[in-house]
Amino acid sequence: MEPLFRPPAQAITPRIQAAVLCIGVGFLILLFRLWYLQILDGDRYFALSTNNRLRVRPVEAPRGFILDRNGEILVENRPTFDLYTTPEDVTDPKEVAGILAEILGASPGEVEARFQEGHDRPYQPLLLRKDLDERMMVAVERRLDLPGVSLHVRPVHAYPSGGAAANLLGYVSEVNQTQLAREEYQDFLPGENIGQAGVERRFDAFIRGIDGGEQVEVDARGRALRLVSRIDPRSGSNVYLTIDKRIQDAAEAAFAGKKGTVVAMNPTTGEILAMVSRPSYDPNLFAQRLSGEEWQRIATDPSHPLANRAFQAQYPPGSIFKLMVAIAGLESGALTPETKFYDPGYFYLGSARLDDWKKGGHGWLDLRGAIVNSCNVYFYQAGLKVGIEDIVKTAREFGLGEPPGLGDEAKGNLPDPQPRKRGQPGWSAGNTVVASIGQGLVVTSPMQLLAMVSAIASGGTIYRPWVVKKITSLSGEILDEYEPEPMRHVPVKPETLAFIRQAMLGVVNEGTGTRAKVPGIPIGGKTGTAQLVRKGEGKGQADLKDHWWFVSFAPVDSPQIAVVVLVENGGFGGQVAAPVAKAVYEAAFGARQPFPRPGTRTAEANEPDIED
Partner 1 sequence: MFDRRLVTHFDWWFAGMILGMACLGILTIYSANALAVSAFRRTLYLRQLTWVGIGVVAMVAACLVSYRTLARIAYVIFGLSLVLLVLVLLIGKAGLGAHRWIRIGGLAFQPSEFAKLGLVLFLARYFDDHRERLHEPRTMLVPAAFTALCMLLVLKQPDLGTALLLLFIALSIMLMLGLHWRYLVPFAVGGAAIAPLLWMVLKDYQRRRILVFLNPNLDPLGAGYHIAQSKIAVGSGGAFGKGWLAASQSQLNFLPLNHTDFIFAVLAEQWGFLGCLVVLLAYFYLISKGFRIARDCTDLFAALLSAGVSVMLVIQVLTNTAMVLGMMPVVGIPLPLLSYGGSSLLITMLGLGLLLNIHMRRFMY
Residue numbers of the site for partner 1 (CB under 8 A)?
2-8, 10-13, 15-17, 19-20, 23-24, 26-27, 30-31, 33-35, 37-39, 41-46, 48-50, 52, 56, 120-122, 180-183, 185-190, 205, 212-215, 228-231
Report, in Å, the least distance between residue 22 CB and partner 1: 9
CA-to-CA separations, 185 to 110, 179, 286, 501, in angstroms, rounded: 29, 6, 20, 49
Report, in Å, the least distance between residue 63 CB and partner 1: 17
* Mode of pairing for the β-strands spanning 224-231 and 212-218: antiparallel
CA 466, CA 117: separation in Å to the nearest integer?
44
User: Which is closer to partner 1, CB of 3 or CB of 476?
Assistant: 3
Exactly one of 173, 235, 280, 319 is catalytic; which is it?
319
b/e sequence 120-150, b meaning 16+ C-beta within 10 Å = eeebbbbebbbbbeeebeeebeeeeebbbbb
Q: Which of 168, 228, 242 is nearest to 199 (CA)?
A: 168
The DSSP secondary structure of 496-520, one letter per residue, reads HHHHHHHHHHHHHHHSTTGGG-BTT
φ, ψ for residue 538, nearest 5 deg = 90, 0
Report, in Å, the least distance between residue 89 CB and partner 1: 17
Asked about 552 being catalytic, the answer comes back as no
Residue 253: HSE in the Cβ half-sphere, 13 Å Cα cutoff: 11
Report, in Å, the least distance between residue 25 CB and partner 1: 10
User: Which is closer to partner 1, CB of 210 or CB of 533?
Assistant: 210
CB 253 within 8 A of CB 583: yes
CA 345, CA 354: separation in Å to the nearest integer?
9
Which residue intervals of 210-338 are DSSP H helices?
Answer: 245-254, 292-299, 309-312, 322-332
CA 63, CA 78: separation in Å to the nearest integer?
10
Report, in Å, the least distance between residue 7 CB and partner 1: 7
CA 242, CA 404: separation in Å to the nearest integer?
17
User: Which is closer to partner 1, CB of 12 or CB of 220?
Assistant: 12
CA 172, CA 63: separation in Å to the nearest integer?
10
User: Which is closer to partner 1, CB of 31 or CB of 478?
Assistant: 31
User: Which is closer to partner 1, CB of 34 or CB of 144?
Assistant: 34
Report, in Å, the least distance between residue 215 CB and partner 1: 5
Q: Judge if the upstream peptide bond of residue 559 is cis by omega within 30 degrees of 0.
A: no
User: Which is closer to partner 1, CB of 23 or CB of 299?
Assistant: 23
Report, in Å, the least distance between residue 173 CB and partner 1: 17
CA 505, CA 508: separation in Å to the nearest integer?
5
CB 486 within 8 A of CB 331: no
* Residues labelled as active-site residues: 319
